[in-house]
Amino acid sequence: MSSSDTNQSSGAIYHHVSPTVTLVYRVVSGLALLFALSSILITLIQGGVVSASFFLLTLNLLLSCSLIGQLWWWHRTGDLSEDRIYVVFAAMGILAFQCLTTIIWVFNYQLSQAELIPGTVPPVTVHTALPNSTGFTVTPVTVTVQS
């Protein structure tokens, strides 16, 4: 038996996972990382500007990222078998969905009356409709933030 027979670089085409699946895995990992980093950055910025409750969303995202990072590490080291790559895909899909809903929540958040600072919000006129015998009576009411 010659040394060329035991050489590993003989060009064998054997893969545990298809190269296409590996490419898709890397693309999905990159997109999930991009989603996670942008969501964490947005919640940190909005947490300092709008409402401190967004810091809890940041913490939630960081915990989810650490769990998915652990799954990714298990897959990379071989502790999670290569035919279970769909578990990592599912986890990254869940992370992407969580990041998307977090971004939507942060940008559609409206301050409640308790969080408004007096004097910073102009008075708002609200029209109320009260029923009477002939139909409805509409009366304007001005609402201001009290200290």
In this predicted model, what pLDDT tens digit does every residue of 77-113 receive, in sequence order? 888 887 788 888 899 989 999 999 999 988 887 666 5
Domain that holds residue 136: 113-147
CB-CB contact of 44 with 107 (8 Å): no
Residue 50: Cβ-neighbour burial (10 angstroms; 0-12, 13-18, 19+): middle
Q: What whole-number percentage of the chain has pLDDT above 70?
A: 74
In a domain, 142, yes or no: yes
The answer on 82 and 51 residing in a single domain is yes
Give the pLDDT of residue 15.
Answer: 61
Whether 44 shows a pLDDT value over 80: the answer reads yes
Phi, psi of 29 (to 5 degrees): -65, -45
Lowest mean pLDDT among 24-28, 114-118, 122-126: 114-118
In a domain, 3, yes or no: no
Model confidence band, residue 141 (pLDDT cutoffs 50, 70, 90):
confident
Spatial separation of the C-alpha atoms in residues 103 and 105, rounded to whole Å: 5
When divided into structural domains, the chain yields a total of: 2
Model confidence band, residue 70 (pLDDT cutoffs 50, 70, 90):
very high
Which amino acid does the sequence have at 58? T
The answer on 120 and 60 residing in a single domain is no
Comparing 54 with 119, which gets the higher pLDDT? 54
Distances (CA, A) of 119 to 94, 116, 144, 147: 42, 9, 9, 9
On whether the pTM is more than 0.75, the answer is no
